Structure 1
Amino acid sequence: MNLYYAFIKAIETGSFTKAAEELGYTQSAISQMVHSLEEELSTTLILRSRTGITLTPDGEEFFPYINNIYHSHRKLLEKHKEMVGLHSGLIRIGTFSSVSCHWLPILMKDFKEQYPTVHFELHQGEYTDISNWIKEGSVDFGFVNPNAVSNVTTIPLQEDDMLAVLPPDHPLAAAEKVTLEQLTNGPYILLDEGEISEPLTIFKQNNFEPNIQYRVHDDYTIMSMVEQRLGISILPKLVLSRCPYNIVTKEISPSVIRTISLAYKDKRVLPIASRYFIDFIIKRHGETLTDKPY
């Protein structure tokens, strides 16, 4: 490609000497490269004079093709560099338990079928943790409630109902639905999600206050605690769909809904593997995430 670039740079600068200075070659080396290109094409491309250089009629005809070949080659090298980064990339994700248990394993499995040498690093926490990790660069992107974050780009993926979680012998276990007011009776186990809690927000909006006896960071710990009749709670439907505990779930009136979104700071500066995986998730979201019975 040096022959093509020397020719293009000579035309751009109007001088072999100036082209040589910009490219770090001698003037004679630039002249020789252009001469080699002329021999390859069996024609004269440049007219040389005391006032500079100009294209011959054949040079005018060939110039756009040579220019296209050079730039296509540059794009090919850039793409190769991207693919090397993709195949050896590390994808760092901030996530919470329901997503890491029910979405990410199948997404990672399918993505690795296309790019088997990509590695994943999962950081599990609550919304505030994940938002801070994204901003400080500890993770490339994360899953959050968009209402709980600021100064990051968010892309909504799915709305997830939240359900009341009760012991099997609880007085409300036989009800079709339960109300927020009913959930204020008895000890309440709060899923600690950082600065914003969807259930607490709904309680406050309806002028109710649950009797919080426990604050817990893990959904599955809460399920076990409810099974042991330590209290009741509200948890996401996504995590309850594969519940291994002897508990009862009920819809709530008014409904409690959270939005699960992808979040990142600046996609343009993320590693290529992470950018590809973000696009993969968004595409798969429309095809499968909302259709599969997680």
Structure 2
Amino acid sequence: MSAARYAVFGQPIAHSQSPHIHAAFARAQGIALDYRAIEASPQEFAAALEAFAAEGGVGANVTLPHKEAAFALCATTTSRAHRAGAVNTLLRKGDGWHGDNTDGIGLVRDLTGRHGLDLRGRRVLLLGAGGAARGIAPALLDAGILELVVANRSPARADALVDAMAEPGRAISAYWEDLREQGDFELVINATSAGRDKDAAFQLPLSLVNSLTTAVDLNYGGAAIAFLAWARAAGCRNSFDGLGMLVEQAAESFRLWHGVRPDTDAVYAELRERASTLVTAD
């Protein structure tokens, strides 16, 4: 009997650690798995996804830049995917796709479990309003943060994300140019691609940081260097990349597909050893 077919879609996708992560999870659980990376441009994504289904694909992960497009292609979604308006996990049901978003729970598990942070009562600055930001915003609010401020180069995108959260006064948008007027935050999260040029400086006002600030980049490896360098220069108490979130969200996808949530510690430890070779985030 051939192994069930799964894939991760994105552009670019050659960097993706998802095939390695899911292969490791499957070995540990004794599950036969065929998981591959499929590159598709935004124009090609819908057709590539349907071709994958026609060839027997039963589940998929979705990374940049397709998370919002994937949501639009789903016949059904979970409540957290609906709230986010973005999907990173697909499961074939009948003739259509069922969509979920495991990014938010993956981030919260990493921050609270692996790094021991208490998110309750924290002011949080979220940089970016695309699919990655949409995926984590609901989970942060559900984790008990005090306030979520969303800043994006395109203010309309930030406004749309905040409106989707339906948390007036608790989730608000801010102009990027006015960040220095927003006060300080206990958690600053980079959900943009601005730092992917590792030779470029990431410029943010130092006034955003207080003595308790944790900085998190949803990217990992080389793509997180610029933001994490800013965090260290600004005096943040902690700074993390998105590798832990990547592993935790993958475990949640695996649970949706296979009915069991794998242990993540061994896979995370292995990838952390190789972190210098990783280039970007799912």
TM-score by length of 1: 0.35
Q: Which one has a larger percent helix, Structure 1 or Structure 2? A: 1
TM-score normalised by the chain length of structure 2: 0.36
Specify the structure having the higher radius of gyration (Cα). Answer: 1
Query: Relative CO higher for 1 or 2, CA cutoff 8 Å, sep ≥ 6?
Result: 1
